[in-house]
Amino acid sequence: MNREKTATEANDIMLVRGSHGRAKVSHAVVVIFLEFFAWGLLTTPMLTVLHETFPQHTFLMNGLVHGVKGFLSFLSAPLIGALSDIWGRKSFLLMTVFFTCAPIPFMRISPWWYFALISVSGIFAVTFSVIFAYVADITEEHERSTAYGLVSATFAASLVTSPAIGAYLSAQYGDSLVVLVATVIAVADIAFVFFVVPESLPDKMRLTSWGFPISWEQADPFSSLRRVGKDTTVLLICVTVFLSYLPEAGQYSSFFLYLRQVIEFSPATIAAFIAMVGILSIVAQTLFLSVLMRTIGNKNTVLLGLGFQLFQLAWYGFGSEPWMMWAAGTVAAMSSITFPAVSALVSHSASPDQQGVAQGMITGIRGLCNGLGPALYGFIFFLFNVELNDMQPVAGKPTRTIEKSMIPGPPFLFGAFAVLFALLVAIFIPDHHRMADNKTCSTRKSSTSTAHAQSTSPLPTSDAEDIEPLLQDSSM
């Protein structure tokens, strides 16, 4: 019976890939590219508006704004992931893209409203969660790591030229035109999702679950954190993601600000730096990632990516010269293979109808890091008196107060220690955990549909649940 049901679900997935849905990885690629290209254009105007709005303690306020956004993303990711498993990906993809891009026009309308909306938009800023579930719906397991690498590389590709274009337009025509262009691209992205992107989840999978209520257990973002101890492998993966993405989230929120004000990069140099790292990241996540996954395996690819991340964070922490930033940037590009490798590892452990929940778990942890990381980095900058107002030329005062510091970037050094612990934890992740759980996943797919039809009460605890409690409907 289970074998027949599994075959039926496979046929449904093939229908989505075929003439009925025509869902393709290219749809996900375009959505990600347009969204982050629009935000990449705002790199230079963002730095200006940030300093004008928060002239005192700019790093700290920057961390708090992004921290609130990230924490709200953590709270909402499980619910959105679980709902997309039941109601389909497209509607939630449209919702996440719309609310993620909604703050863009307010940069010129009202900076205060702009930063307020950035914070609140975190409720729906989980595009990657839905996109990875979308990709999982339309790819086979052996194709999935390459597809995830392509999506992640698209994120890097969107930042190759957009900051440079934004800096040029800002210098020639002013920030208002940059915001207008970014708004138009964001609207085009929303229109593309609405009119072009097809649904990836098979109709039968959605209709069998339609109307089934979402329990608090599914929507509770802390349920995954409470249950990670039931499965050692899931616990190790979650701890690895948390320790590695915490410094990455903090770095992403403040690094361009750091380059401009502390290392004294010009806007054009920052744009060139982003382009270089973006191009190298594309190569790493498309060419190198697929080769590494085939040759050294999933786990070893994760370990290699963490090693590169440790090296680049330590270099950022101790580096005080521009050439050091450029050199560390090349290493940072190689570290970008970590997240798609981890996403593939988690996806291989989830059944076809659980991909939204599985990716929602990872996105939820990343969302928590997006809340803690920027706030933590901003607070560390504040503790070490790294402030934008200290960097401005003032009569009788030095323009670089940290010039003689032995550690120019204290938060990055903290991040290096966090990644070191992540590397140590990842060493203990089993190589073949998924193969031992395939039967469990197939059994769970059959029993979940039956439970949906019979009752709305929580699923009973069983030995099967103890094997992979985070990759079930009831867990999120």
What is the spatial distance between Cα 248 and Cα 338, in angstroms, rounded to a whole number?
11
The dotted CATH code for 222-387+409-431 is 1.20.1250.20
Amino acid at 383: L
Residue pair 336/284 in contact (Cβ under 8 Å)? The answer is: yes
pLDDT tens by residue, 347-376: 776 566 555 555 556 766 776 787 788 888
Amino acid at 59: F
**If DSSP codes are grouped into helix, strand and coil, which group holds residue 241?**
helix
Q: Beta-carbon neighbour count of residue 52 at 10 Å?
A: 10
Residue pair 94/191 in contact (Cβ under 8 Å)? The answer is: no
Q: Beta-carbon neighbour count of residue 276 at 10 Å?
A: 15
Residue pair 292/304 in contact (Cβ under 8 Å)? The answer is: yes
Q: Which sequence spans correspond to the domains of the chain?
A: 21-201, 222-387+409-431
Judge if 21-201 and 222-387+409-431 fold alike in CATH terms: yes
What is the spatial distance between Cα 475 and Cα 458, in angstroms, rounded to a whole number?
10
| Nearest C-alpha neighbor of 319 from the set 392, 402, 249 | 402
What is the spatial distance between Cα 33 and Cα 165, in angstroms, rounded to a whole number?
15
Per-residue pLDDT of the chain (476 residues; tens, 9 = 90+): 444 444 444 444 444 444 345 788 999 999 999 999 999 899 888 878 887 888 777 777 878 888 888 788 778 777 787 788 778 889 889 999 999 999 999 998 898 899 988 888 888 877 887 898 899 888 887 788 788 888 888 887 887 778 888 888 888 898 899 999 999 999 999 999 999 999 887 765 554 444 555 555 655 666 655 655 556 777 788 888 899 999 988 887 778 778 877 788 887 888 888 888 888 888 888 888 888 888 888 888 989 999 999 999 999 888 878 898 899 989 988 888 888 888 777 777 656 655 555 555 676 677 678 778 888 888 888 787 665 444 443 334 444 444 445 667 788 999 999 999 999 998 988 775 543 344 344 444 443 333 333 333 333 333 322 322 322 222 32
Quote the tokens at residue 143: 């194709």
What is the spatial distance between Cα 67 and Cα 379, in angstroms, rounded to a whole number?
11
Amino acid at 168: Y
What is the spatial distance between Cα 138 and Cα 147, in angstroms, rounded to a whole number?
10
Question: How many angstroms separate the Cα of 176 from the Cα of each of 31, 45, 159, 170, 182?
Answer: 24, 9, 20, 8, 10
The dotted CATH code for 21-201 is 1.20.1250.20
What is the spatial distance between Cα 73 and Cα 57, in angstroms, rounded to a whole number?
25
Quote the tokens at residue 276: 């270089």
Mean pLDDT of the chain: 75
- pLDDT score recorded for residue 396: 42
pLDDT tens by residue, 66-86: 888 878 877 877 778 778 877
Helices (H), 215-297: 216-219, 223-227, 232-261, 267-283, 289-295
Amino acid at 392: Q
pLDDT tens by residue, 88-118: 889 889 999 999 999 999 998 898 899 988 8
